[in-house]
């Protein structure tokens, strides 16, 4: 579970007591979250925090299931998990993935939201090739006032030896934020597949 804060009407000791039971986000983030809800009492705060913690657990479980799932033959999988620790929403914007309108709406990021989605890309690599871009894509989230761009890709380099060749996966994972001030973005790879087709998971935290 995780902790948030109490309503702005609560005193510091009540806030500290509530936040001591939750850990899905930093205490200050949880305080901001509860303040944004304008709740009246501790039970409302606890219900809101429990609901958000449950959503976080559901997203984590979905990510784990996708990482364990057998991907279609000749495909590689990218899983993206987003923790939005802000009161801002980010609509899906320009991208080079040929997403449908419903797919774009599905990956829109709501305020204080936890969301995950996956992409399965065709994995092809010609024998004898020294390097191969398996895929290289980007997605914009947000608008002209506050937004971020996520660039991601997979490249496989081949080094030829006397006995056998060595494959080295190069995973692209870059976030660029725009705005005044820009949103703070922390991105990291949390899971990798060490053998072909080299799928991986990226976690992006907004604050």
Q: Dihedral, CA atoms, 40, 109, 103, 178, nearest 10 degrees?
A: 160
pLDDT-based confidence at residue 20 (cuts at 50, 70, 90): low
pLDDT given at position 6: 34
- Kindly report which listed range (124-128, 131-135, 167-171, 192-196) carries the lowest average pLDDT score: 124-128
pLDDT at 41 exceeding the cut of 60:
yes
Q: What is the mean pLDDT of the chain?
A: 87
- Summarised one tens digit per residue, pLDDT across range 141-164 is 999 899 999 999 999 998 877 777
The pLDDT of 1-27, averaged and rounded, is 58
pLDDT given at position 12: 57
Q: Where are the domains of the chain?
A: 1-68, 70-206
pLDDT given at position 7: 38
pLDDT given at position 25: 87
Q: Which CATH architecture has domain 70-206?
A: Sandwich (2.60)
């Amino acid at each position: 579970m995780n902790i948030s804060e109490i309503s702005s009407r609560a005193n510091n000791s009540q806030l500290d007591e509530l936040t001591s039971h939750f850990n899905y986000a930093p205490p200050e983030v949880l305080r901001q979250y509860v303040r944004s809800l304008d709740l009246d009492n501790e039970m409302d705060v606890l219900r809101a925090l429990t609901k958000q913690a449950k959503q976080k657990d559901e997203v984590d479980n979905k990510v784990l299931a996708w990482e364990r799932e057998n991907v279609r033959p000749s495909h590689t999988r990218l899983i993206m998990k987003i923790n939005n620790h802000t009161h801002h929403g980010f609509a899906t914007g320009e991208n080079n993935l040929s997403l449908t309108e419903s797919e774009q709406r599905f990956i829109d990021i709501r305020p204080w939201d936890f969301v995950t989605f996956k992409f399965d890309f065709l994995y092809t690599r010609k024998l004898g090739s020294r390097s191969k871009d398996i895929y290289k894509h980007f997605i914009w989230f947000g608008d002209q006032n506050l937004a971020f761009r996520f660039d991601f890709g997979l490249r496989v380099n081949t080094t030829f030896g006397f006995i056998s060749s060595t494959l080295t996966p190069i995973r692209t994972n870059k976030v660029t934020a725009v705005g005044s001030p820009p949103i703070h973005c922390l991105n990291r790879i949390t899971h990798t597949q060490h053998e072909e087709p080299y799928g991986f998971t990226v976690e992006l935290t907004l604050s």
